[in-house]
Amino acid sequence: MQLNQRQKAIVDIVKENEPITGEKIAELLQLTRAALRSDLVVLTMLGVLDAKPKVGYFYIGHSEPSQEYNLFKEMHVSQIMGVPLTVHQNDSVHDVIVQIFMEDTGGGFVLDQDGYLVGLVSRKDLLKASIGGGDLTKLPIGVIMTRFPNITTVLEEELVLEAAEKLVTRQVDSLPVVRPGKDGRLKVVGKFSKTIITRLFLEIKE
């Protein structure tokens, strides 16, 4: 795997200054620690750098990607997707809010009467509806949802890396995992989210 310019700059800094903290690397590159986080994760997963808590980063420089990285690179969405909260387009906004609390989730996928995907709602959509001032027990979720086809979806057989890229480029928290029917309509079979991918990172590390 080719390192990008910034990753190469990080490696050079670590080689010269090891052990060095993430904060110090960020300072030398005049970037925020947050901006460097994903590069540092990639370099540690690739086995180029090693991180010791409270000490900092060391250069180890393995040219072969680590086993963890290979595992991650080949993983498919179906292997880690979660169970989605699905609601009906005629359900009231009030009922969907209650369901979101009961299921402890961040949003829901909205289905039509035949069980196909027609939209989705996130926390922000529900907050927006709530400050609108109407009667939330009478307002159907179908009125406020982000509507199909303006929805970014992912297929079960897509790579986790591709799905993660969609989350980042579209700036959303979750994607419906879908299975297309013969008529082009989509059945929801799962959910892919930032929480799920964060959990995967921890599991791989363990």
Buried b (16+ CB within 10 A) or exposed e, 109-148: bbbeeeebbbbbbbeebbeebeeeeeebeebbbbebbbeb
125 near ligand ADP (CB under 6 A) = yes
Contact region for ligand ADP (CB under 6 A) — 32-40, 61-69, 70-78, 148-156?
148-156
Nearer to ligand ADP, 161 or 168 (CB): 168
Work out which of 71, 159, 172, 189 binds ligand ADP, going by CB under 6 A: 172
120 near ligand ADP (CB under 6 A) = yes
123 near ligand ADP (CB under 6 A) = yes
CB 122 within 8 A of CB 66: no
- Applying the rule CB under 6 A, the residues between 51 and 110 that interact with ligand ADP are 106
Closest CA to 86 of 181, 189, 194: 189
Nearer to ligand ADP, 113 or 150 (CB): 150
Nearer to ligand ADP, 37 or 124 (CB): 124
Shortest reach from residue 55's CB to ligand ADP, in Å: 36
Within 8 A by CB and 6+ apart from 166, the residues are: 152, 154, 175
How many residues at the interface with ligand ADP, by CB under 6 A?
15
- Applying the rule CB under 6 A, the residues between 4 and 23 that interact with ligand ADP are none
Nearer to ligand ADP, 56 or 107 (CB): 107
Contact region for ligand ADP (CB under 6 A) — 24-32, 39-47, 67-75, 169-177?
169-177
Contact region for ligand ADP (CB under 6 A) — 26-34, 59-67, 167-175, 178-186?
167-175
Region for residue 54 given its phi and psi (left: phi exceeds 0; alpha: psi -120 to 50; beta: otherwise): left
151 near ligand ADP (CB under 6 A) = yes
Q: What long-range pairs does 37-45 form, CB within 8 A, spacing at least 24?
A: 39/4, 39/6, 39/7, 39/10, 40/10, 41/201, 42/7, 43/3, 43/7, 43/10, 43/11, 45/69, 45/72, 45/204
Contact region for ligand ADP (CB under 6 A) — 76-84, 86-94, 145-153, 157-165?
145-153
Q: Which residues sit opposite 88 in a β-bridge?
A: 111
Map residue 45 onto helix, strand or coil. helix
Q: What are the residues binding ligand ADP (CB under 6 A)?
A: 106, 120-125, 146, 150-152, 172-175
